[in-house]
Amino acid sequence: MWEERLQIEGPYHFDLILERLSMDPLNAVDVNNRTVKVPIYEPEREVATIQAVGEVEAPEFIIKGRNEKTKESVQEKLAHIFQWHVSLKDVDKHFAETDLHEIFAQHRGTPLILDFSPYTCLIKCIIHQQLNLKFAMTLTERFVHTFGEEIDGVWFYPTPEKTASLAIEELRELQFSQRKAEYAIGLSQMIVNGELNLEELSVESDEMIMKTLVKIRGIGPWTAQNFLLFGLGRPNLFPIGDVGIQNALKKLYKLEAKPDHPAMEQFSEAWKPYLSYASLYLWRSIETTE
């Protein structure tokens, strides 16, 4: 076992992070004790625990892990997942002069938290495609509980090897559609066969990653953009096809109908180069009221 204390620059609102993470029943979140247990997939599976002991303007954490040998790599992964290296002061300053200033004030210090691995991000996006959020989470939970692994109270998604070996009928029994089952298994088989290397892809430009991913059956622009945003933490993504963002803009600008794509492009021009944060805070603006 190992334990470290970490201080980072504020603002950083860990309690709002826990609130958002707790929306997913697969996440091991304890809001009262301000902790989350994080599944670490590589170099070997283990569980790390983060507990907030600081405040928004002076964030401080106690981080615990189980294996001293992987301590450094675990700390690096946690720093990446929780975006501890990003200055939210710069983001706040940028949006203070935009139409989103009230939303950013309300959710001040909310960072862009990544999914716990790039592969699980893609699989989750495929499962969530064209489903309402409640059933999407239910279906994801069934998938992980059936084929994944639980360690120390934390659920790990099945490996690409496990998913690649499944029969379509096994996913259909969980209420996957035929195509969704084919997409999840097909993606996993590409990774196992070496046709798709997410680690190598992750260092490419946004454009190259989009171009590569949309060639894969079952991955369209929405899924590719969400992978860039929540799988890799790219800062300037604005998924204009996302219904949640459309609804948030409808509410913000008091529109009679959801905005079309040209209008969304026009609205978002002033939010560059932090479009990912605009996306996140717009989602937050409706998650907390609906």
Other CB atoms within 10 A of residue 48 CB:
23
15 is a catalytic site residue: no
Among 15, 115, 242, 260, the one annotated catalytic? 242
Q: Which residues are catalytic?
A: 242
